[in-house]
Chain A
Amino acid sequence: MGSSPEVLGAGMRTASATAVARMIDGVKVYGRGDTEVVALAGVTAEFPSGQFTAIMGASGSGKSTFLHCMAGLDRLTSGRVLVGDVDLGSLNDRQLTILRRERIGFVFQAFNLVPTLTAEENITLPLDLGGRRPERAWLQSLVRVLRIEDRLGHRPSELSGGQQQRVAAARAMATRPELVFADEPTGNLDSRSATEILGLLRAAVDDFGQTIVMVTHDPRAASFADRVLFLSDGRLVRELPDPKVDTILDVIRDLGD
């Protein structure tokens, strides 16, 4: 097949100092006139390779919009998003889709899996869509780390919430993407499953050098990250390195005042 995992995996293995993705002066405006809503009001942020970043903010702060635009699901009104050195604004729909497929992974809050496909088929979905053959060894190590080896033949409806989310995580990393975006990945899970999935994301960063960007409103979830970016009213207002639950809560209290 025409796959070239070396090239695709290259971004992940570059020096950790270089940014895998960046947003420069990102502005996103919804609606027009009276109904105009500014979701992002000039955000600049970098995501260095191999880092786990959490994005926090009150609802309406623009954190979901930020994620959607970073991940190429939505387009900025002005400003630029770069993945590697590719400007997403210069891509047409098809090119953007292929970039998402090959260089970006997703974990969503819910409705994460295609209900008609088995767990395994869901994991290899991005590869199938690109007509690529999965790297067996990589997938095996993924499902082993995520502890879903014995669940591969099941459909999503036959899996628990935690298992579903682990399958989604495996799918997100199946293509060895440069970036994984997670949108409230623990939002629908009980605390035990949540801890488990967060531990696994952490392990992916530590063991495989995976770059992860996670949107959450849960301080405990954010504490698993290397740093936390705080958004408020569409602006980046604070960056917290080495976050702990206490320090995160302090920042939230500060921002609330």
Chain B
Amino acid sequence: MWRITLKGVVAHKFRFLLTAVAVLLGVTFMAGTMVFTDTISHTFNGLYSSIYRHTAAVVRARQAYATSSGTERRRIDASVADTVRGLPGVAGVRLTIEGYAQLVGKDGKPLGNPGAGPPALGEAWTDSAELNPFRLLPGGQPPRTSSEIVIDKHSADLGHFRVGDEAVVLTKAAPQTFTIVGIVTFGSADSPLGAGITVFEPATAARLLGEPGKVDQIDVSAAPGATQADLARRIDTALHDPSLEVLTGHQVTKESESSIHKDLSFLNTFLLVFAVIALFVGSFIIFNTFSIVVAQRMRELALLRAVGATRAQVTLSVLGESLVLGVVASAGGVAAGVVLAAPLKAGMAALGIDIPAAGLVVGPRTIVVSMLVGVAVTLAAAVLPARRAGRVLPVAAMREVAVEPTGHSVLRVAVGCLVTLVGAALLSVGLFAHVAHRLTYVGAGAATVFLGVAALGPVLTRPLSRVIGTAITSVRGTTGELATENVARNPRRSSSTAAALMIGVALVALIAVIAASTKASVGDIIDRAIRADFVVTSGTGNPTALGLSPEVQRRIAALPEVSAAMGVRVGPARINGANVYVGAGDPARTSRLIDFGVSQGRLEAMGVDGIAVSERVAADHRLALGQPLTVVFPTTGARTFTIGAIYRAREVTGDYLISLASAEQNFRQQLDFQVYVKLADGVSPHAGRAAIGKVLADYPTAKLQDQTQYKHQQAAQIDQLVNLLYGLLALAIIIALIGIANTLALSIHERVHELGLLRAVGMTRGQLRAAVRYEALIIAILGTVMGLVIGILFGWALVVALSSQGIRRLVIPGLQLLIVAVVAALAGIVAAVGPGRRAARLDVLRAIASE
């Protein structure tokens, strides 16, 4: 039987080729993602091991609770190092200071891609060679004075800096010009993950990056003979300070590795979601191919049954074919995935994330998981057609060619509706119920809805295709009519082909609706809440990563053209057991710049111990004005605040707002995320802009925007993300188009006789091609229309679910969706080119003669 299976695949290899591509593309993306992230992970593990090779122990402040990044810590006194240095077994000590430092290029623009790219960090130089992660390249010197710096090779290459050049560096202090005295690598890499590194002389580093006399952590190297564990214990005992923790070098290495691993696993999961979507779409193509091939081979399968193949043997032979297909396509996918990892890496490098990896890591997990998933998807999709193959009656071997059942049963409608409802229920649970793993529910629900609609597809296909077909027929006459009939004659086939396209289009429509709704909602909030004339932003979407020096706010506030300027900061904290972000601003000035929609209390009356909470939080946690609220900061621990105000507009700084004074005590990062500016009475926007612009000339990361510009920038940030998602979804749509081409090719193969007849009675090649083209067009429109409907419904559900997150308006971007529909329909026509040409090239005589 296995031989029959193999021969079947070989004999129909061209039939299976496009199907294999559908599987292959999904597996390629999956394997590529895993190779890519494994490679980065491997590289970093190697990097950390080599950098921490000589780090035997690390002393740092204990976190009040574990933040996601693990970097939010109180700074410790540099004097701790003196105690450590004197202990037996300690060979060397490094005072580590890290903070925001943005190198400015020769063109006056900040180097790299601040805001979207990797971070810009400042570090302190250490003379302990074995503890220094940075290697000076030949010709360089360590920074020795307050005006000397050393920069990483990646930045040097990017900014064309050489030793001896001068460069401006932005820190939390005023911008300052330094002399580059050396260029360093990070271990063997040009820079850590493409981050821009500036290394200062230690005292300068403390002043510009942290606090004078304080350091972030102390790295210790061991004298020969001292073990890491012993040394760490000895230091801990000697320091005898419960606010400090002492870790061994091994622990720190593990911690760094697992932190990278966590970041990567997010990226990994994000990309894998799209691989899974692609495979899901691919499974429709596989299902369709096998359904068609089984229908076309009914007679042969019946013959097998007649001469003694059991039902199970026939089913297994078809499943066997899918197994071969799955194995071959998945293996091809893994191979292609390894190749894909290189351009993925290049793509990330283009975004500024330079991965210091030479080789590619193809782990056994990549191969095993990709193969298993690819094969499993192929097998699962072939199960139904295989069962149908097994059910063929042996007598069919002697009857005329069996046709696919075309009628749609009540059962199909019932099952289809039921599955759709179950999917919608799962989706609702994920969106609206307070359960764990909500995204899993949403994903499973959406997939189930797609399956349900696909099951209902054949019922909808006939009427829908008639409607679409009538339009074409009215323009194109017979060829259009023929195309319509061909779509409608095999509703199952047409609908599952269209369903594959439906999924991609639905997801695109969903994203378009969400994006448009978000943009409109954000625009509303900006209109309503922002009273400031200008907003200065640091060009980042991540408020805790980098920001503006507080100097910016101070200098703008001092301008005579300005009546008020307020910096806003955001920092991590833990409230009521949840990790949250807390916003901070100057309560005295807020109401002139931002309308928080305060419903109870007064922001202006809020002191350093005051906190304002959003109405949502107040309702969720039953908080009332004047009540105490405990906020745990990772740096300083638990602090008790008194609720001084309750406000509506949670979209500006989040659910919590504390005073700037309190933020200065409790946040580690002392940079402003944004600065809101109100001009003095009688100052024209033009004059105001000129005055503020003069100040900002010193801060090239700062962007000055009025309300309209700010709105556009927010929209542009959303668009950027949306475009990335579209790009990733393109794969699913390409696979769906391959599916259309595949179905048409298989149908034409089956209709050779009929096509020959049409040609014989006078249909031209062009007309035949056109008929095939319109058939594709109808299927594409069918899939697109179903996709748009589902996508808009999903979008609506999501907008309702997200209304508490500030997305209050449902916007359906009509023009954009129309463009999606037109593009999908045109792509359908493109998919028909190959099959159409084949149909037209048909030899009339042979076609009529063929059985």
Give the interface of A toward B (CB within 8 A).
64, 68, 71, 73-74, 93-94, 97-98, 100-102, 106, 108-109, 111-117, 121, 125-126, 128-130, 171, 183
Which single member of B8, B300, B304, B394 contacts A73 (CB below 8 Å)? B394
The interface-forming segment of B308-316, B451-459, B589-597 is B308-316
CB of B804, distance to nearest CB on chain A (Å): 58
- CB nearest neighbor in B for A97: B310
Excluding A73-B394, A98-B310, 6 further A-B contacts by CB distance (< 8 Å) are A94-B312, A97-B311, A108-B306, A108-B398, A111-B300, A117-B3
For chain B residues 254-310, which have a beta carbon within 8 Å of chain A?
299-300, 303-310
Which single member of B4, B306, B394 contacts A116 (CB below 8 Å)? B4
Check if B160 is an interface residue, CB within 8 A of chain A: no
Contact indicator B398/A68 (Cβ below 8 Å): yes
For chain B residues 1-32, which have a beta carbon within 8 Å of chain A?
1, 3-4, 7-8, 10-11
Q: Which 8 A-B pairs have the closest CB atoms?
A: A101-B308, A116-B11, A116-B7, A73-B394, A97-B310, A126-B308, A73-B395, A129-B309
Contact indicator A130/B304 (Cβ below 8 Å): no
Contact indicator A121/B3 (Cβ below 8 Å): yes
CA distance A109 to B397 in the complex (A): 10
Contact indicator A97/B309 (Cβ below 8 Å): yes
> Could you say which residues of chain A place their CB within 8 Å of the CB of B308?
97-98, 100-102, 126, 129-130
> Could you say which residues of chain B place their CB within 8 Å of the CB of A93?
310-311
Contact indicator A117/B4 (Cβ below 8 Å): yes
Contact indicator B306/A106 (Cβ below 8 Å): yes
- CB nearest neighbor in B for A125: B307
> Could you say which residues of chain A place their CB within 8 Å of the CB of B306?
71, 73, 100, 106, 108
- CB nearest neighbor in B for A184: B398
CA distance A71 to B393 in the complex (A): 13
Contact indicator B398/A183 (Cβ below 8 Å): yes
Interface centre among A73, A106, A116, A117 (most CB of B within 10 A): A116
- CB nearest neighbor in B for A131: B1
> Could you say which residues of chain B place their CB within 8 Å of the CB of A71?
306
Interface centre among B307, B393, B394, B395 (most CB of A within 10 A): B307
- CB nearest neighbor in B for A100: B308
Contact indicator A115/B307 (Cβ below 8 Å): no
CB of A213, distance to nearest CB on chain B (Å): 14
CA distance A116 to B7 in the complex (A): 6
Contact indicator B10/A116 (Cβ below 8 Å): yes
> Could you say which residues of chain A place their CB within 8 Å of the CB of B394?
73-74, 100
> Could you say which residues of chain A place their CB within 8 Å of the CB of B313?
129
CA distance A74 to B302 in the complex (A): 12
> Could you say which residues of chain B place their CB within 8 Å of the CB of A98?
308, 310
CA distance A97 to B301 in the complex (A): 13
Contact indicator B311/A129 (Cβ below 8 Å): no
> Could you say which residues of chain A place their CB within 8 Å of the CB of B10?
116
CB of A71, distance to nearest CB on chain B (Å): 8
The secondary-structure label for the interface of chain B is: helix
11 A-B pairs in the complex with CB atoms less than 8 angstroms apart: A71-B306, A100-B307, A112-B303, A114-B4, A114-B300, A116-B11, A117-B7, A125-B307, A129-B304, A129-B308, A129-B309
Contact indicator A111/B311 (Cβ below 8 Å): no
CA distance A222 to B363 in the complex (A): 70
Contact indicator B3/A115 (Cβ below 8 Å): no
> Could you say which residues of chain A place their CB within 8 Å of the CB of B304?
114, 125, 129
CB of B565, distance to nearest CB on chain A (Å): 80
CB of A65, distance to nearest CB on chain B (Å): 9
For chain B residues 307-338, which have a beta carbon within 8 Å of chain A?
307-313
Contact indicator A94/B307 (Cβ below 8 Å): no
Contact indicator B3/A171 (Cβ below 8 Å): no
Known: A100-B307, A101-B308. A115 touches B11 (CB 8 A): yes
Which single member of B7, B299, B305 contacts A111 (CB below 8 Å)? B299
Q: Mark B378-413, 1 if CB is under 8 A from A, else 0.
A: 000000000000000111011000000000000000
CA distance A106 to B309 in the complex (A): 13
CB of B340, distance to nearest CB on chain A (Å): 34
- CB nearest neighbor in B for A118: B7
> Could you say which residues of chain A place their CB within 8 Å of the CB of B4?
114, 116-117, 125, 128
Contact indicator A171/B307 (Cβ below 8 Å): yes
Contact indicator B1/A128 (Cβ below 8 Å): yes
CB of A29, distance to nearest CB on chain B (Å): 15
CB of A98, distance to nearest CB on chain B (Å): 7
> Could you say which residues of chain A place their CB within 8 Å of the CB of B393?
73-74
Known: A94-B310, A115-B300. A128 touches B3 (CB 8 A): yes
- CB nearest neighbor in B for A175: B308
CA distance A183 to B307 in the complex (A): 14
CA distance A74 to B307 in the complex (A): 13
> Could you say which residues of chain A place their CB within 8 Å of the CB of B3?
117, 121, 128
CB of B270, distance to nearest CB on chain A (Å): 44
CB of A88, distance to nearest CB on chain B (Å): 13
CA distance A106 to B303 in the complex (A): 10
CA distance A117 to B1 in the complex (A): 11
Contact indicator A109/B398 (Cβ below 8 Å): yes
> Could you say which residues of chain B place their CB within 8 Å of the CB of A111?
299-300, 303, 397
CA distance A115 to B310 in the complex (A): 19
CA distance A114 to B397 in the complex (A): 11
Which single member of B8, B299, B307, B397 contacts A129 (CB below 8 Å)? B307
CA distance A64 to B306 in the complex (A): 14
> Could you say which residues of chain A place their CB within 8 Å of the CB of B309?
97, 101, 129
Interface centre among B299, B300, B309 (most CB of A within 10 A): B309
